[in-house]
Chains A and B, each alone.
Chain A
Amino acid sequence: MATTKGGVPRRKFLKGAASAAAVGAFATTITGFPHIAGAQAKVIRVGMPTILSGRVAILGTSSRAAAQLAVKEFNESGGVNGRMIELVDRDSKGRPDEAAKVTRDLINNDGCEIIIDAEASSGSFAVQEVIRDLPVLCLHTCSETSSLTADPKIHVKTAFRSARQGIHDAVAGGKYASAISKSKGLKRWMTCSPDYAYGRDNTAEFLEYLKIFDPNVEVVDQVWPKLFQPDYTENITKILQVKPQAMYSALWGGDLVAFIEQSNLYSLFNNITFFSGGLGDPPVLTAIKNLPAGLNTVYRYNRFYPNKPGNQAFAEGYNGIAKQEPTNWSWQNRLACSFIFEALKRTNGKTEGTALASELKGMALDSPFAVEDKITMRDSDHTIIGYPAAWGVTSSKFPYVENFTAPAWSEIIQLESEWKKRKGYA
């Protein structure tokens, strides 16, 4: 006999509930859709399309926490011209088409007048095209793909990048690694990077500049594990067979954690000098159970580098919200907020895209993340320079990376301009 609920048969009740929900959703679609929020003139809405679910959700959650902290501090200081800022985040699920859709929604539907694009690279290229159509101010805060701002064909007048980029890291990495290879006589190199465009491009660029700075380097083998591969035994065995003196890896996130932990079982790092393009992120460092000391890593974030009170205050504030150390994406989003706030102050709260963009071009900020005097939003290609393009060494002591060294930005810029000429970007 069917169970009844207040005299209504269970199946009928379930059917009714499902139909009501479905019809309700449909009716909403026809009549009240879509969630028209309407901008409040007093509040400046800043939209943030990002990845909040799935394997790389930490990109979105750590970006959002940093932006929330920045907005909170800005509003507590009185806002601009009496106007406060409201952050509206939206999950793109890591899908570029969804990133384009939610960005359009944030602008058209939620009344966002500024966009902080905290998408991964492919999503950022999709958002860039939305900004071409709907020219509000946009700051890309997570994409490290150089062409996003270097390629003039992709250039959008109101879009900027407040994030590190591949070419800067490649120059800094090549310079840093070559100094070690020369001093230790590391000639036989190997790479182990994820088999997709970022992994291959990043590795190629690192090797290109390593060989420019140290022509004696020879790449004896390369292994390409799949993205999100759970078991690296095959790759580690290959590395042990080849016996390189040094190794570069563009693995990142959980993949890098798994690779290092599995490599520890084989004592891989005892005889190989290891260079990593992704190890410097505090959540990665703390996720590794037995972090070997002496591994070389690019700077992702460190509360003591640059060693400025503002940087440590940021880390403390961020920890208060997120209950963990900031990530690379966190400082980049915090910096983006600083650029936006300064531009808003200069326009006296005017949010028109071109007005804000003209203020942002060439803007130099006193930032806690600046390695030299300031971080500058370069006028010519809308990207930042002066941030920490540094490398350090892992240690067992918090915050697990120390002895950062960075090349002079003048040198990075010179090599970058040559790279741009070779690529046909300049």
Chain B
Amino acid sequence: MLGRSSLRDLAWAALLLVGLLVLPILVPHPAMRDFVIYVIAYGLLAMSLNLLVGFTGLVSFGHAAYFASGAYIFGLLMQSGNVSLPVAMLAAVGGTALLALVIGAICVRLKEIYFAFLTLAFQMFIHSIILTWVSLTGGDQGLMGGIPRPTFLGIDLNDSMTLYSFCAVVFVACLVIMRQIVQSPFGYTLRMIRDNPHRANFLGVNVVRMKLAIFVISGTMASVGGIVMALFVSGAYPEFGFWTTSGEAIFMIMLGGTQLFIGPLVGAILLQTLNHYVTIYTEHHGLVLGIVILIFVLGLRRGLADFVYLWFQDRRTRKLEKETGR
């Protein structure tokens, strides 16, 4: 039976889904749909990375490898014409989980900087495979010729509104799954590992196994982001698996914050919005984004969502202290 907090989370998820589905009616502009799909894809990448960074204390520099893996497996299967879209999605998610299991089994035994660099090394290895296996991946040109979107169960993703709704549903489903993981005993065990792995070990937690489990789950969720992106741009490109994409996900987490579940999503919205506007007005977007990040790091000293959350907490505490006269 679902607990009260789970029901509350599901209610929030339903509200978010309704909000996403109503948004194109309120703002009937195709560019809005495109923007939200883009945020969904990169939001999933950032939120899944935060399962490692924020909740487990594992800073991965190679998370984009799973984003790319999802996009490429999905794209290749759809181009083969032998499988339906849902089967290709499941295979891409399953294939990425397997990949994350192999890489994770090696990486999670290491700590801190060694873990970070090994994940980066694996990412660059996968990126090199994408570049050099030209006959399969198209090399640096990416998967050419588009990704077909055949109708399944009466759903035609060639229609842009249907594609948007489909991405919104997939996104909310992933959020629900990640939220349940974070709020479960397993999620709290991860926080314990983050805060004090020796104590967790002393209490009988198999730290390596726990880390491996969240590594695989995190990679799997990132692959869904890759699938959404492949559907949107109708292709898959080596840049999806390049270190700069992992860097962007880390930027999103820095902008949004690590402590709140939706922090990285806020970061993804902020980064994509900044990117959208800054690119319109100047080609010196790197400079502008750098300044914005400096403001966050030096001014807020945390992500926006964390800052707002702590500000409300402080206010509430001060109010309580005032009321109790202490």
Chain A residues with CB under 8 Å of chain B are 11, 14-15, 17-19, 21-22, 25-26, 28-29, 33-36, 52-53, 57, 90-91, 93, 95-97, 100-102, 104-105, 108-109, 121-122, 125-126, 128-130, 132-133, 145, 147, 151, 153-154, 196-198, 200
**Are A97 and B29 CB-contacts (below 8 A) given A15-B299, A154-B145, A196-B131?**
no
The A-contacting residues of B in range 222-240, CB under 8 angstroms, are 229, 232-235, 237-240
- List, in ascending order, chain B residues with CB within 8 A of A151's CB: 144-145
Taken residue by residue from 17 to 56, chain B's Cβ proximity to chain A (1 for < 8 Å, 0 otherwise) reads as: 0000000000101111011001000000000000000000
* Chain B residues touching A, majority SS: helix
Min Cβ gap A316→B in Å is 26
B166-174, B197-205, B277-285: which lies at the A interface?
Answer: B277-285
Q: Is the CB of B142 within 8 A of A53?
A: no
17 contacts between A and B (CB under 8 A): A14-B298, A25-B277, A34-B32, A35-B280, A36-B31, A96-B239, A97-B237, A100-B233, A104-B31, A108-B29, A126-B233, A129-B234, A130-B233, A132-B146, A153-B145, A196-B140, A197-B138
Known: A33-B273, A35-B277, A154-B144. A108 touches B31 (CB 8 A): yes
Q: Check if B181 is an interface residue, CB within 8 A of chain A.
A: no
Cα separation A26 to B38 with both chains bound (whole Å):
16
* Distance (whole angstroms) from the CB of B308 to the closest CB of chain A: 8
Choose one: A21, A153, A197, A198; the contact of B295 (CB below 8 Å): A21
- The distance from the CB of B74 to the nearest CB of chain A, in whole angstroms, is 14
Expressed in whole angstroms, the minimum distance between the Cβ of B238 and any Cβ of chain A is 8
List the A side residues contacting B237 at CB < 8 Å. 95-97, 122, 126
B163 (CB) vs chain A CBs: closest residue:
A133
* B146 in contact with A33 (CB, 8 Å): no
- Chain B window 283-317, contacts with chain A (Cβ cutoff 8 Å), 1 for yes, 0 for no: 11110000010011011100010011000000000
Q: Mark B157-171, 1 if CB is under 8 A from A, else 0.
A: 010100000000000
- In the complex, which residues of chain B have a beta carbon less than 8 angstroms from the beta carbon of A197? 131, 134, 138-141
Given contacts A34-B29, A34-B31, A35-B280, contact A125 B304 (CB under 8 A): no
Shortest beta-carbon distance from A136 to chain B in Å? 13
B276 at the interface (CB under 8 A from A): yes
Q: CB-CB < 8 A to A153: which residues of B?
A: 145
Contacts A35-B280, A101-B34 given; does A19 touch B233 at CB 8 Å: no
B235 pairs with A96, CB closer than 8 A? yes
- CB-CB under 8 A from A26, the residues of chain B are 266, 269-270, 273, 304
Question: Chain B residue with minimal CB distance to A22?
Answer: B304
Contact A108 B34 (CB under 8 A): yes
B54-84 toward A: CB 8 Å interface, digit per residue (1/0)?
0000000000000000000000000000000
Within the complex, the shortest CB–CB distance from B247 to chain A, in Å, comes to: 13
Using Cβ atoms and an 8 Å threshold, which residues of chain A touch B182?
A: none
When A and B form their complex, what is the total count of cross-chain residue pairs whose Cβ atoms lie within 8 Å?
147
Closest B residue, CB atoms, query A53: B283
In the assembled complex, the CB of B44 is this many whole angstroms from the nearest CB of chain A, namely 14
Q: Are B142 and A122 within 8 A (Cβ)?
A: yes
CB–CB A105/B31 < 8 A:
yes
| Cβ–Cβ contact A109 & B140, under 8 A | no
Give the distance to chain B from A366, nearest Cβ to Cβ, in Å: 34
Partner of A125 from the list B34, B142, B292, B296 (CB cut-off 8 Å) is B142
Is B210 in contact with chain A by the CB < 8 A criterion? no
**Pairwise interchain contact A121-B141, C-beta atoms closer than 8 A:** yes
Determine the distance from Cα of A121 to Cα of B300 in the docked complex, in whole angstroms. Answer: 41
Contacting pair B300 A129 (CB below 8 A)? no
A140, chain B: closest CB distance, angstroms: 13
Residues in B with CB closer than 8 Å to A100 are: 232-235
**Residues in B neighbouring A108, C-beta threshold 8 A:** 29-31, 34
On whether the beta carbons of B295 and A109 are closer than 8 Å, the reply is: no
Contact with A along B78-92 (1 / 0, CB 8 A): 000000000000000
Q: Is the CB of B145 within 8 A of A122?
A: no
Tell me if B38 and A101 are in contact (CB < 8 A).
yes
A190: min CB distance to chain B, Å: 22
Collect the chain B residues with CB atoms within 8 Å of residue A196's CB: 131, 139-140
Contact between A14 and B234, CB atoms less than 8 A apart: no
